[in-house]
Amino acid sequence: MHDWKADERKLRGDFEKRMADMLPEPLFESFNFTGGHICLLCTKPPVSMLYSTTMTPLIPLCQGCAVNWRSYDYYALKRLNPVKILKWKLFHPFRSPGWLAIVRQLRAVKKWSEKMKRLMKRGKK
Give the pLDDT confidence of 59-80 residue by residue, as tens digits. Answer: 888 888 888 887 887 788 888 8
Query: Cα–Cα distance between 18 and 1 in angstroms, integer?
Result: 29
Structural domain boundaries, residue 67: 4-124
Q: Please state the length of the chain.
A: 125
Count up the domains in the chain and report the number: 1
For residue range 24-57, what is the model confidence (pLDDT) as tens digits? 778 888 877 777 788 888 888 778 788 888 777 8
pTM of the model: 0.74
90 falls in which pLDDT band (50, 70, 90)? very high
Whole-number Cα distances in Å, 52 to 16, 68, 70: 20, 17, 15
